[in-house]
Homo-oligomer: A and B are copies of this chain.
Amino acid sequence: MSEISNLQKARAAYQPKLPKALQGPVTAVEGAATQSVGNQKEIRELFPNTYGMPVVEFAEGKKAPGSQFNVGVILSGGQAPGGHNVISGLFDGIRSLNPDNKLYGFLMGPGGLVDHKYMEITPEIMDAYRNTGGFDIIGSGRTKLEEVDQFEKGIVILRELGIKALVIIGGDDSNTNACVLAEYYASKNYGVQVIGCPKTIDGDLKNDQIEASFGFDTACKTYSELIGNIERDCNSARKYWHFIKVMGRSASHIALECALQTQPNVCLISEEIEKKEQSLDDIVKYIADIVAARAAQGNNFGTVIIPEGLIEFIPAIKRLIAELNDILATDEAKTVTRENQIEYVKAHLSAANLAVFSSLPADVASQLALDRDPHGNVQVSLIETEKLLSRMVGKKLAEMKKDGKYTGKFSAQHHFFGYEGRCAAPSNFDADYCYSLGFNASRLINAGKTGYMSVIRNTTAPAAEWIAGGVPITMMMNLEKRSGKFKPVIRKALVELDGKPFKFFAQHRDDWAANTKYVYPGSIQYWGPSEVCDQTTKTLQLEQK
């Protein structure tokens, strides 16, 4: 065993809290039959064995002899704080049913199941990872479980290891695939259950049944610590505008939560920009006007939070990217040399998209035209939106200065936070929530459920009052077009513009823009006053108010 930090040593002793219902023997209380959120007919046809099952809630039950069974677990996709706690909850859960129950971890993501790469998670191994960040206990990966061939390869090793149930810890796509796998094994009567757990720092796996995906709490608190520190620096030095991009893929949940925690001068919300059909110039003007208004008060400093997915939500850019993808996908385009590509693109773009393309700074335009992913698509995530925006704001301000509408100094600093928060040691909330999700999964397995997501609700109450149970994954599904085909998927949750978190933000942002109302959340605390170390996200607090 390697050297570990004092914090990790001390945190190893933390015993995560469980909902009261899970603290002893349980009984599964079943609700009425469910429907999918959309395309009921199609989803029912695609999932004949796992469609329409009831929502399950666990209540205190009578002690029953526990049977011996083994369980497999997979970490799928990007890291999120608390993954190890889901595993430790699951581990403790199955062993509380029968001490001989074994937990196997498939290595480096779903690929481990297909390739038969696995390890047994022994008590010694488990103890080294309790309440730690990261997915390094078994690793993670992005292999998609979608093909029958993969499912069949999987069942071979599942049978060999005597595995009764597989727990897949992942985001919306991974849970969709978990459901497809559950349906397949049920249809074949293979006798292996599949249970999903809602993971992602992005916060976009959320609906009437799921209050929050795990990791969102810790990641947002880590980013907010840093943003608060920058705000304090900004307010001390009074000479920079800090442009801060935060992870979160398409959805702006992280940006919004960080804004609620830190009250920056500007926070862009992609979903609003799309709804209002704003152009890049609209956004730049919005920021530049705030910079100018603050400068007029003698405040040549400020903070701007930018969601990672912004660029794709600007309708004009979205249309440009779509046309670029079409233009560059042709056989003819593939013969064009790199040097001639920009001219080639310009010659083929429609007038409207050409105007947008020409308005972009040269390096961004060439990034759009030249840098493609292996599928030939524009690599939007590589675009440094924070620099793009600050540069365009600087240009706009220079114009405003000429017109006598701005008389300040504008100097920018840039930041991008993503990897800094995905593997932080889980906050008390995530430590408890994840442990409960994993423990709860063991109860769903014991109740014989498959195609369910482990769900913990009422999460702004103390952990003892949390509600534990399961929701059929099909209930969250509808059909969406992916790569040209309609597919059953869990509906991705974007920021709702009529939801309470956004509305709160919208009510306050003008005040936060004009006045300096920064809040400095500081670093995540694991000990200390409960209002410091046990608070949930502002998003959850506002949603459950």
Instruction: Decide: A236 and B522 in contact? CB cutoff 8 A.
Output: no
Known: A10-B532, A531-B6. A424 touches B229 (CB 8 A): yes
- Can you spell out 25 A-B residue pairs with CB atoms less than 8 angstroms apart? A3-B263, A4-B519, A4-B520, A5-B522, A6-B521, A7-B520, A7-B523, A7-B532, A10-B528, A10-B532, A133-B229, A134-B236, A139-B238, A140-B236, A222-B523, A229-B420, A229-B423, A234-B419, A236-B423, A424-B522, A525-B526, A526-B528, A527-B527, A527-B528, A527-B529
Contact indicator B79/A236 (Cβ below 8 Å):
yes
Chain B hits for A132, CB < 8 A = 232, 520
Bound: A359/B509 CA distance, A: 49
Chain B residues near A261 (CB, 8 Å)? 5
The A225-264 residues at the B interface (CB cut-off 8 A) are: 225-226, 228-230, 232-238, 242, 261, 263
A423 touches B532 (CB 8 A): no
User: What's the Cα separation between A490 and B517 when bound, in Å?
Assistant: 39
Is B519 touching A228 in the complex (CB atoms < 8 A)?
no
Do the beta carbons of B140 and A242 come within 8 Å of each other? no
A421 CB-CB contact with B under 8 Å: yes
A452 on interface, CB distance cutoff 8 Å: no
- List CB contacts (< 8 Å) of A8-42 with chain B: 8-11
A126 at the interface (CB under 8 A from B): no
Give which listed residue, B10, B228, B229, B524, contacts A531 with CB less than 8 A. B10
Of the residues B79, B133, B415, B521, contact of A419 by C-beta under 8 Å:
B415
Q: Does A358 contact B (CB under 8 A)?
A: no
Interface presence of A279 (CB below 8 A): no
By beta carbon, the residue of chain B nearest A521 is B5
Q: Is B232 a contact partner of A136 (Cβ separation < 8 A)?
A: yes
Option from B9, B135, B413, B424 in Cβ contact (under 8 Å) with A523: B424
Q: How far is the CB of A3 from chain B (nearest CB, A)?
A: 6
Known A526-B525, A535-B6: A422·B133 in contact at CB below 8 Å: no
Judge if A425 is at the interface, Cβ distance under 8 Å: yes
Instruction: List 5 extra interface pairs beyond A2-B518, A5-B520, CB under 8 A.
Output: A79-B236, A132-B232, A230-B419, A230-B423, A425-B522
Taking the closest CB of chain B, its distance from the CB of A429, in whole angstroms, is 13
State whether A423 touches B232 (Cβ < 8 A).
yes
A108 interfacial by beta-carbon distance below 8 Å? yes
- Chain B residues with Cβ below 8 Å from A424 are 225, 229, 522-523
Complex: A3 Cα to B504 Cα, angstroms: 15
- Cα of A261 to Cα of B233 in the assembled complex, Å: 24
Give A149-160 as 1s and 0s: 1 = Cβ < 8 Å from B's Cβ atoms.
000000000000
A232 and B532 contacting across the interface, CB-CB below 8 Å: no
Chain B hits for A526, CB < 8 A:
525, 528
Provide the residues of chain B in CB contact with A419, threshold 8 Å.
229-230, 233-234, 242, 413, 415
Tell me the chain A residues, 378-418 only, with Cβ under 8 Å from chain B: 413, 415
Report B-chain residues with C-beta under 8 Å of the C-beta of A236: 79, 134-136, 139-140, 423
Q: In the complex, which residue of chain B has the Cβ closest to the Cβ of A414? A: B416
Given contacts A10-B529, A237-B79, contact A229 B5 (CB under 8 A): no
Q: How far is the CB of A238 from chain B (nearest CB, A)?
A: 6
Judging by beta carbons under 8 Å apart, are A5 and B136 in contact?
Answer: no
B524 and A233 contact, CB distance less than 8 A: no
- CB nearest neighbor in B for A137: B236
Question: Nearest chain B CB to A425's CB is how many angstroms away?
Answer: 5
Given A232-B136, A236-B134, the answer on whether A532 and B6 have CB atoms closer than 8 Å is yes
Q: Is the Cβ of B7 less than 8 Å from the Cβ of A232? A: no
Q: Smallest CB–CB gap between A74 and chain B, Å?
A: 14
The answer for the CA separation of A28 and B165 in the assembled complex, in Å, is 74
Which chain B residues lie closer than 8 Å to A229 at the CB level? 133, 222, 419-424
Q: Which 4 A-B pairs have the closest CB atoms?
A: A527-B528, A523-B523, A232-B423, A134-B232
Contact B140 A7 (CB under 8 A): no
Encoded as 1 (CB less than 8 Å from any B CB) or 0, chain A from 497 to 535 comes to 000000000000000000001111111111111011101
Residues of B within 8 A of A233 (CB): 79, 134, 419, 422-423
Report whether B527 and A235 are in contact in the complex, using a CB–CB cutoff of 8 Å.
no
Nearest residue, chain B, Cβ from A263: B3
Do A5 and B228 form a contact, CB below 8 Å, given A222-B523, A233-B423? yes
Cβ B5 vs Cβ A519 within 8 A: yes
A508 to chain B, nearest CB (A): 10
| Alpha-carbon gap, A270 to B538, bound state (A) | 43
Q: Please, which residues of chain B bring their CB within 8 A of the CB of A533? A: 527
Q: Given contacts A3-B263, A79-B236, A531-B6, are A420 and B230 in contact (CB under 8 A)?
A: yes
- Give chain B nearest CB distance to A24 CB in angstroms: 30
